Structure 1
Amino acid sequence: MDDLLTRYKAKRNFDITSEPAEGGESKDGQLAFVIQKHWASRLHYDFRLELGGAMKSWAVPKGPSYDPKDKRMAVQVEDHPIAYNQFEGEIPAGQYGAGKVIIWDEGTWTPLGDAAKGYRDGNLKFEMHGRKIQGHWALIRMKGKGEKQPPWLLIKEKDAFARPAADFSVVDEMPDSVVPLRSKTRTPAKAAKVRASETPGEKAALPATIQPQLATLVDGVPGDPSQWLFEIKFDGYRMLARVEGKTVQLFTRNGHDWTHKLPHLAKAIAKLKLKSGWLDGEIVVANDKGVPDFQRLQNAFDSSETESIVYYLFDAPFLDGRDLRHEPLETRRALLKGLFDEKTPPSLRFSDVFDVRPQDLVASACRMGLEGVIGKKKDAPYSSRRSPNWIKLKCTQRQEFVIGGYTDPQGTRTALGSLLLGVHDDKGALVYAGNVGTGFDQKTLGELKARLDAVAADQSPFSAKTDLDRKAHWVKPQLLAEVSFGEWTGSGRIRHAVFHGLREDKKPLAIKREKPVHAVAERGAASKAKAAVPRSKLHVTHPERVIDPSTGLTKLDVVRYYALIAPLLLPHLKGRPVSLVRAPGGIQGELFFQKHMEGKMPGVKPLSQALDPDHAPLMEVPTAQAVLSAAQMNVIEFHTWNGVKTAIDKPDRMTFDLDPGEGVAWESMQQAAKLVHEFLTQLGLESFVKTSGGKGLHVVVAVKKQHDWDTVKAFSQAVVQHLAKTLPQLFVAKSGPKNRVGKIFVDYLRNGFGATTASAWSARARPGLGVSVPMAWDELDSIGSGAHWTITNIQTRLHRGNSPWDAYAPQSLSKAMKLLDFKPSASKSS
């Protein structure tokens, strides 16, 4: 160990840095990993795997990506002690790697093969079990030229977790530390250790059949989510495996034996270290993007090419002669996970849980195109029925329907037009629920028509007439369609329906309209939590559209940026009229400055007409949804008034926009901002600075709502005129390019009624897409331009957030006006 850590120790002075010098313990039978987000000279991610008694470490500049096409550079660095897994804090200035460090992700990893050999050979493949990072990955060493820090590539392998970068960026959507998310309850691994010594479960003969536990659809997360485990909801078929000696059988949820259809899975299960038992899980097939695809699963069975089917296991009601159904879920899962090792066939997967806020997990699942999330009570037994201890949180409304008929095709469509769908009511009658005419490809249409012809009927199976009786061809109510849809109408019809495939694992009489209920709280009472599952997510049209040709940044990049910083942006927009700069053709195209409501923009609210009676209502952007819907409408910049809607006649801040003329060096801008700051301080006013995101800087003063717009504007003009008179070689008080060649115009016009300034955290519609960022005054010398931060490097600033402005508070202008010999009563609007 001393040899492994020699380089690590030589680079650090442990009398100064709080980093651990050594220590740390391995978990029994488990290898740890940690990914630390490190704001050193440049932001990067430190990727560490426990191997050989130390943490093998790589610096990954861009962080991990779920897209197998993204080959992330990973520079190998010195081994770290296992104790480093717990390090989160600030490495002092002057020390190696000085800067902030957070634990971005942590968990365990499982080698796929001989880990030591893979590491030596530069071809290390493994499975990750973290809060953010899951699935199969690889570290591949590149052919270097004897570098002291060998270059590797970190690559996501294709599996059910893989996602295109255009759809999902884990570093952008999950930027924070996982330390606050650590559960206070014991982990499944610890549960297994305790239970193993107690011989969990009761000795029992293996039953011939077993009914699966089913989940209840709910409208929101439980009242105490810390008591629950959350897994991805797979878009596939429920499957139970029965193992007795060398005999393996696979059963659907209805008890149909599908072993003959899935011989490769039966062989894989036979290789587990299991003498007997019942295993519960879901079979899926992933599409080209790595997302479970129900239609592809159906096609795999139709073509008898089932080798691509993967079995995700998530529960074990019976194991090795013991009935575990009355054991806590955590115990059952821990024992199930113990069946997996590096020799487990890749067609078998353990369904991992995600220790993050369920709201965030649902949102991420929806963005990734997954069906939703399953929640399970940690201490609940296994019940062979639909139980409130298992819940479904869906991204969109989706369920099975009974097919009662179909219509003829129209136009170029062949085989059929749409399917007539139904659900059973409480009395068992089949009630018409609408039709579905999208989601079919040519192959599906032909195969579906053949299946429908085989169950043709002379009369309608529905309990009442449908909207399409005259056009319909009736069928016996035997086939089930999996359909997603937008909503139920008041008349009991579905709208915006999309066909996903036929189901053969459920009984038609069991198909009823799914109605979400409230999730149970810890004691079984209805939850009062209103954090509902999003029924629909923002759809980004034309995500590939290039917004900034100089960098190649796209519309999707802009939307992702605003999704990331919305919590920081919203305090600066709160309660204020907001104007928008839109760039539908990119920043090199025509830009539109929008002050008033011009059609619906979800979440953006119209303000009172009285604020601007001669025009359409002004706008307020009060929520993250509003920010993102604006970004979807090609908004690049958010500009705000210096007043709030509740007291619009009296501004609550004063803004000075330092705008450099031609030939002004950045050092002069820094000097000018400091002089403005010093002068305002002499007037008794505390001021705050931010980058403009463009060429200049903004100096902001919070003021009490005591004076009208004309007075505040006139006073700000007096401040600027004093600066220009005192330092004419640097400042100018008149706008216009000719007036400020080689000088800086301090724009006071931003303080007039209806005038706006780019908000803090707003991007700017200029090459590079700079961002206006709040700073502390002592940081001014360390930045290189007003666009020092951009949407591509903003991650390096998120840890500071709005904290440089923590002291921002309203101030009276009375003393300052007196010192400047400014008389409000004599002020005039300019």
Structure 2
Amino acid sequence: MAKPVSEYTRKRNFDITSEPPETAGRARSGKGKALSFVIHKHDARNLHYDFRLELDGTLKSWAVPKGPSLDPKNKRLAVHVEDHPLGYGSFEGSIPEGQYGAGDVIVWDRGIWQPHGDPRETYKAGKLKFTLIGEKLTGDWALVRTHLPGSGDKEQWLLIKEKDEAVRSADEYDIVADKPESVVSGATVGEGRASAKSGTRKTAAAAPVAEKKPASKTTKKPAAKKTAIPQKLSPQLATLMDTPPEGEWLYEIKFDGYRIMTRILDGEVRLITRNGHDWTERLPLQAKAISELNLGDGWLDGEMVVLNDAGLPDFQALQNAFDIGRSKDIVYYLFDVPFLNGEDLREKPVEDRRAALKKLLGKQKKGLLRFSDAFSAGHRDIIESACLLSLEGVIGKRAGSVYQSRRSPDWIKLKCKLRQEFVIVGFTKPQGTRSGFGALLLAVNEEGAGLVYAGRVGTGFNQKTLAELFEKMQPLEQDASPLGKKLTSAQGRGVHWIKPTLVGEVEFGEWTREGIVRHSAFIALRSDKPASEVVHEYPKTPKDIKAPFKPNASKTSASKTDELAGKPKAASKRDSKDKIEVAGVLISHPERVIDKKSGLHKIDLAHFYESISDWILPHLDHRAVALLRCPEGVEGEQFFQKHAERLAIPNIKQLDPKLDPGHARLMEIDSVQALVGAAQMGTIELHTWGSTYDKIELPDHFVLDLDPDPALPWRSMIEATQITLSVLDELGLDAYIKTSGGKGMHIIVPLARKADWDTVKAFAKALAQFIAEQLPERFTATSGPKNRVSKIFIDYLRNTRGASTVAAYSARARPGLPVSVPVSRDELASLKSSDQWNIANLQKRLRKLKADPWAGYKNTQRITRPMWKRLGVKAPT
């Protein structure tokens, strides 16, 4: 007999809505697992909040029209609705028109709930009392069934805040109004109903929603899946190349103009620059032309240019057109369509996207909107053909590639002449009859060094540009050089320094070995690119740009075993050709994807460790290191290796065998070459001992690893860290913190090298037990998942001889390749998660740091008898 269809499934068509379908069976909730809760903010026909509690493998759900209140006097109506599947707890997106509950949905709050008494009995009795531990809501609450008449058969309940320390008077505070955003994406819904027509409304589409695509229930081809159109979309950027690579590529003109993205949402057209500025008012005719295409919600990608008499892009003419407001002279060349008529096309091949774009633009060869056609020349002749036409260069797009909002090797640029943007950092006095200034001083951003001097440009100016530039630079003058490294007295003589905000495009003959441009000529100021993004553009060679990696199915088990054991393979022609050198170390199989979530490759990890060597090496200095090796990537088999054995890591240092008798030698990483060498051998994580090897029996710090129940909200982790730090402050112990790169936080307490391992471990254990005894509802000092349900385990077990902790600035072998990052106490409250930094975005944080987060770290503290006494433990003799 077929199982009856639930009310949830009966109301939904999962071929159209992206809401999650029910799965077979229900996981019964038990004592070994925390119970989750989620509150959805739902902008349907009427804005309301859906309050959901996990019970018996489903989400019991109530619609709360006004949302929760922290004032016990405000008893909120809560209409009991159908149960939802547990998978709905993470749903965020837009339910299409015509579907049940059509409208935008965000996760307004989430966390765990702790029932008072047996939840099945109290739910059945209509008197649910419970504690919430969420990102926004905390404390005790009640859901009480009433006998009020409802709509149809829906029960009417009341959501009531119980009296406790979390209570706030409604006269002074409204949490719904104060915290309207999603705890997942930061998006808001329903905030601008009155101003929706003016385009100021933000929706859940601010973050792209991953849609599930269940199998079709019929043999008919399902309609195109509609998706939430993001409010913001970064363009795909191209990688500079020196020569055309082999393979199948589509080549277009490299337009000398302004990159503009078009967003169409609810019939409104907005034209947005690469760095997010709205230029719709500056381009009214182009916006109107797009509007007349009558497209549904979507995004277009293209370049605004002005053509000269020869029909070629002229950037100076484009600037003039903007200056005098002649948008009729500006042509919008379109070359991609990431979203079209409510459908996400980003995963479709570039050929299909361009075909769809060409079709919607029709055959128009003139007018304000034009399609960017591809070249017909062969790939070996492509750059020569472009240069003969006096073009700046060409853009190549790998056939079959998807659209990615980042700089990608699937899009490349080939230039006829060297030409790029520079930050203008100063100018010199004019000579002879020249007015304004003599030359501009140029710079580029360099990781770890700030702005680096890149030479001067003194030609390419006419009287008008000299005057305009001088007028812009005068208000920016400052006494100090903005460069990270001072110039020589000869280079800096007579220079007027300015704030580094202006960006200029310069054409030049070559880069010198010292990173200085030669034979340069000024082209124009660029207002479409921020100074912070200007870097030295190094052209790559074709060997750096490979086709997407495909696993070699013919690899034998024997060769695979050798690779995992660290044995070098017999060199093959392909191995030799495909290796890339990083810090003097050859990286084999650089294209191997080591993390499917981010798509990052082995070469990316090697470059990451090279780039942060100055930050991580001090934390590895004079310490035995253990390696977590993942030769097949994050999802493959992992090996934890403490001893050198027969592992041939390039440049790694092997320590004295007496340090760990009975084993192979311990290892140390003391150079950038050893660091990159470890990455070459499949290492992702680096773990260090709690002592330096010159005094290996005397630890110089102890670690408290705060390890939460994964169901707990991040807010609980912040509070737990603050509480632990407060206890250490009371004891008089200075402590430092870092993200674990996983779910928890690491607290490091530096020590003078006086106490042995047993003493330090015993003190860390006493400290963990003391905190757990004071706050048993929040903490546990006993390991094991069953002991940390709804709690945070204070792990003190890492403070044992031979145990290790992941090093500061080490990557983690987890999806996304997060990094364990030191933070200051002032930053703690603002952290979003323990894995918010990864190997792709850490450099951005490091560039912005004004001071070392662990400034003041000293190994001078001692564990004293009064400290033991305050923890209620007798000090060891």
* Same fold by TM-score greater than 0.5: no
Q: TM-score scaled to structure 1, two decimals?
A: 0.42
Q: TM-score scaled to structure 2, two decimals?
A: 0.40
